[in-house]
């Protein structure tokens, strides 16, 4: 069965976060034709029916001999990975250019829920940190079954964000994480690259692996607005700017790309995986990026 990628907008419309996370993760896993991310653990987990096209490496031939049916053995990974999901809840994350698309924060929330489910499914300990210019809430990392509900509960109650100040809050979080592990930052990184890099470097310094999901709205990339408009800053509502987007588009794109280039360069320098995504990109890509990282860590 081949399924078309489901857009973030369609998924967001489903409403319940637990269902969404499950749908995203299960759909993602089933859609992988060749799944290199299973079977690297030595602990048997369950039997599962073979689907056409799946490799025959893990087919249990004994079961086949007895039942004349193809089953494959699925192993649960044994791990001591502690992953902490850092979700940026600043006001800038509340931006969504189109009602048909989720805001960056909604996208981040769904992504965080999906990652949490995927991590827990692989018996990793998962924690959550919510912040804007300060920490807004946290769930300590655990690998218990109930942990997913704790995380989803916090994600469901995301507080209204304020101005972004990534540097200080990242430092604060870095200090609070007790053990080395995986840090997954979901943010638009709308702060000075120097401050962001400094914060991330702090994680690296404390031995954490870091994946950064930079979530942006497509309009932030191309400034594709028609007609003159007064732009209001979401983080500082008193700041407005009157502008003809068509006149400023080229220069804006140039400046924005330069900023993104700085972010990329800083992440590369600190050996941080940077996953750039937009709110119209299916979650598969983000999940795939995580699994790649996870595989390298194992």
Among residues 34 and 242, whose Cβ is nearest to another protein? 242
Q: Which is nearer to another protein, 183 or 189 (CB)?
A: 189
* Residue 200, C-beta contacts closer than 8 angstroms, at least 6 positions apart: 170, 185, 210, 212, 266, 267, 270, 272
Contact 124, 81 (CB under 8 A): yes
Q: How far is the CB of 107 from another protein (least distance, A)?
A: 13
Q: How far apart are CA 59 and CA 37, in angstroms?
A: 16
Minimum CB separation from another protein for residue 174, in Å?
A: 24
Question: Which residues of this chain interact with another protein, rule CB under 8 A?
Answer: 92-93, 95, 104, 188, 190, 217, 220, 223, 225, 227-235, 239-244, 247-248, 251-252, 255-256, 259
Nearer to another protein, 75 or 256 (CB): 256
Q: What residues are paired with 48 via a beta bridge?
A: 72
Minimum Å gap between C-beta 87 and another protein is 16
For residue 130, the surrounding DSSP H or E stretch is: strand 125-131
Whole-number Å distance between alpha carbons of 106 and 117: 17
Q: Smaller CB distance to another protein: residue 175 or 228?
A: 228
CB of 287 to another protein, least distance (A): 24
CA-closest candidate to residue 103, choices 260, 218, 271: 218
Cα(215)–Cα(233) distance, integer angstroms: 18
Shortest gap between Cβ of 229 and another protein (angstroms)? 5
Q: Of 176 and 239, which CB lies nearer to another protein in the complex structure?
A: 239
| Dist CA 148 CA 139 (whole Å) | 10
């Amino acid at each position: 069965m081949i399924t078309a990628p489901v857009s973030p907008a369609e998924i967001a419309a489903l409403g319940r976060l637990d269902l969404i996370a499950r749908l995203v993760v299960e759909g993602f896993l089933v859609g992988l034709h060749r799944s290199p991310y299973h079977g690297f653990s030595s602990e048997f987990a369950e039997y599962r029916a073979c689907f056409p096209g799946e490799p025959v490496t893990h087919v249990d031939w004994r079961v086949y001999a007895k039942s004349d049916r193809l089953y494959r053995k699925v192993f649960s990974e044994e791990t001591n990975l502690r992953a902490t999901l850092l979700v940026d809840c600043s006001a800038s994350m509340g931006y969504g250019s189109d009602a048909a698309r989720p805001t960056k924060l909604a996208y981040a929330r769904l992504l965080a829920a999906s990652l949490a489910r995927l991590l827990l499914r692989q018996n990793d300990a998962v924690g959550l940190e919510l912040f804007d210019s300060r920490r807004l809430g946290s769930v300590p990392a655990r690998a218990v079954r109930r942990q997913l509900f704790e995380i989803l509960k916090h994600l469901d109650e995301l507080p209204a964000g304020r101005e972004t100040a990534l540097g200080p809050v990242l430092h604060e979080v870095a200090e609070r994480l007790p053990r080395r592990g995986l840090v997954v930052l979901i943010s638009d990184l709308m702060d000075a690259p120097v401050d962001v890099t400094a914060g991330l470097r702090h994680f690296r310094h404390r031995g954490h692996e870091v994946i950064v999901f930079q979530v942006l709205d497509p309009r932030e990339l191309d400034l594709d607005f028609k007609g003159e408009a007064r732009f209001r800053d979401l983080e500082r509502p008193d700041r407005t700017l009157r502008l003809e987007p068509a006149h400023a588009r080229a220069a804006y794109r140039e400046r924005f790309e330069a900023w993104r280039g700085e972010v990329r360069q800083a992440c590369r320098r600190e050996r941080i995986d940077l996953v750039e995504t937009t709110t119209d990109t299916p979650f598969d890509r983000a999940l795939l990026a995580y699994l790649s990282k996870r595989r390298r860590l194992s």
